[in-house]
């Protein structure tokens, strides 16, 4: 990846940040912002031997597609290399929906997420610790889920400009 030396060079570096982009894509695959979408059939449709009546609700599980072994090798593993060879073009990768219903802000959202990730990496050290009780203490930003290790973001020393 390109080295981002200061906050002002982030925008020019975005297209070259392949590892950060792969990280973001894999996060969105395993933890989609929307777990599923619902649509109503405008008319009766027959497909693959089955019939859906007009007005029927069709629910698509984005999380289900993103973790389906038919589309993803070892689907529950977090693997950055998954997106090295165009997996973001996979027909089962829908973090911003697909086709005519794709999110109009997809490119903006991806850029903003990458910028936020870069700023977090530049300004904080990411520290993993076995589960610790933080009751009564405020350490900064803490990411913790039940039964998991604690992830602390510790502010880095101010970097020269």
Contact 63, 32 (CB under 8 A): yes
Cβ-based burial of 125 (10 A; exposed 0-12, middle 13-18, buried ≥19):
exposed
- Whether this prediction's pTM lies above 0.75 is answered by no
Which ranges constitute the DSSP H helices of 31-105?
62-66
Both tokens assigned to 76: 């529950």
Q: How far, in Å, CA of 53 to CA of 41, rounded?
A: 7
Res 144 pLDDT > 70? no
Both tokens assigned to 7: 């906050």
**Number of neighbours of residue 153 by Cβ within 10 angstroms:** 17
The pLDDT tens digits of the residues spanning 77-94 come to 999 888 877 666 678 888
The pLDDT tens digits of the residues spanning 36-81 come to 889 899 999 998 999 999 999 999 999 999 999 999 999 999 998 8
Which ranges constitute the DSSP H helices of the chain?
10-13, 18-30, 62-66, 106-123
Instruction: State which H helix or E strand residue 40 sits in.
Output: strand 36-40
For the chain, the straight-line distance linking the first and the last C-alpha, in angstroms and rounded, comes to 21
């Amino acid at each position: 990846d390109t080295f981002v030396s200061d906050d002002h060079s982030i925008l020019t570096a975005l297209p070259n940040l392949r590892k950060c982009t792969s990280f973001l894509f894999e996060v969105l695959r395993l933890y989609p912002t929307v777990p599923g979408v619902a649509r109503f059939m405008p008319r009766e449709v027959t497909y693959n031997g089955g019939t859906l009546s007009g007005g029927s609700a069709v629910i698509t599980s984005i999380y289900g597609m993103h973790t389906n072994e038919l589309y993803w090798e070892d689907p529950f593993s977090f693997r950055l290399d998954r997106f090295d060879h165009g997996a973001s073009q996979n027909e089962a990768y829908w973090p911003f929906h697909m086709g005519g219903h794709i999110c109009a802000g997809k490119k903006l959202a991806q850029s903003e997420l990458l910028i936020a990730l870069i700023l977090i990496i530049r300004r904080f050290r990411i520290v993993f610790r076995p589960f610790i009780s933080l009751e009564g203490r405020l350490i900064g930003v803490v990411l913790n889920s039940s039964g998991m290790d604690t992830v602390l973001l510790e502010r880095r020393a101010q970097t020269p400009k």
